[in-house]
Each structure stands twice: as structure tokens, then as C-alpha cells.
Amino acid sequence: MIFLNQAASQISNRILDNLIGNRFQQSVLGVYIGTIVYALFLLSTIRDIDSGIYVPATSTYFLIALTVVDIFLFIYFLHYVTQSVKYDTIMQQICDTTSKSLEAISIIKDTYVDQDLDKVAEIAFRASKSGIFQGFFHEDLVSVCRRENIIISFKYPVGTFIIEGIPLLTVNRNFR
């Protein structure tokens, strides 16, 4: 709960609304509230009768089972929420929402020009999806460059948010 409180204080209201408006989170909170209401109704059925105290056994066992399920659901809920408030996840959701909105109002469609690899000395590769550029395997890439006699130039530094379709890197063929 402390984590959620800190995340809520650091995130804007618009993004926080999207997190709270999530169907999974609403369902989990509904199960919690339902369990609490069921427990309160069960407490009201406990009676003091002539032969002792009457406690509905089946309902009590059901409440215990429901409580165990709630504990596991709470653990999964915490994992889900901690993943959903990560910077990368929030930025990806914003990017996806923005892309869908722009595609809906856009008249111009994507036009990618196919390049003949034998005739062009420099080839640009576009990002296949939006996200944060997290780097590459340096040793593997260097070995490919040496083997194929090419030079690969990245357009953006590690940690930059890349939008789908923009040129991410260029490959220069060495004609020596």
C-alpha cells in the first residue's frame, strides 16, 4: 500500500485514472469487498440458542476458502500493480493510445520504400515497435559487422524512447 501511495503521488491524475480504471484491478477490489460483506453477513447469523452457540459450519468453511483465495489474489494483484506503474509500461501505454488516436484521425497511411540491398550503400532500418531503446549485444553485433564488412550506426542513444516506424539504425556497406 505504501508503494501504491508513492506511485499515486508521483503520477499525474490522468495516468492514475487509467491505472485505477483497469478491469482486472476493479475485479480484484470487487472480490475483496464481496468477501468482507459476506463475512459481515455471516457474523450476523451467529446465534445464541438454548443448546449453545449456533455457528453455520459450511458457510464458515466457505469463508475460510474464500479468504485463502483472496490472499493469493492479493499477491498477484501486488505483482500486477507494481508492473503497471513502471515507467516503461506507462510510456508504452501512452504511446499505444496516442498511436491509435493518430491512426484514427490520420488520412495519410504509412509508405515504406523498399530498397534494393545491392544498389544502395546505406540502408535505414525502422523501429518495428515503440518502446525504450535498451541497447544491443555489443560483441555479437561487432562480430556480424566484421564478418559482413558493414558499419552499423544507431541514431539514438540507449534509454531513448523510440516511436514505431522511425529510422532506428543505418547499415553502411563497405565497398573496399
CB–CB of 62/45 below 8 Å?
Answer: no
Average pLDDT of every residue of the chain? 78
Query: Per-residue pLDDT for 77 more than 70?
Result: yes
Query: Per-residue pLDDT for 112 more than 70?
Result: no
Query: Per-residue pLDDT for 1 more than 50?
Result: yes
Query: Per-residue pLDDT for 172 more than 80?
Result: yes
Query: Per-residue pLDDT for 17 more than 80?
Result: no
Instruction: For residue range 88-108, list pLDDT tens digits in order.
Output: 777 787 888 888 887 777 655
Lowest mean per-residue pLDDT among 38-47, 49-58, 117-126: 117-126
State the amino acid at position 98 in one-letter form: T
Taking the complete model, does pTM exceed 0.85, yes or no?
Answer: no
Give the pLDDT band (50/70/90) at residue 6.
low
CB–CB of 131/165 below 8 Å?
Answer: no
Q: Which residue spans within 26-166 are E strands per DSSP?
A: 47-49, 52-54, 122-126, 131-132, 150-154, 161-162
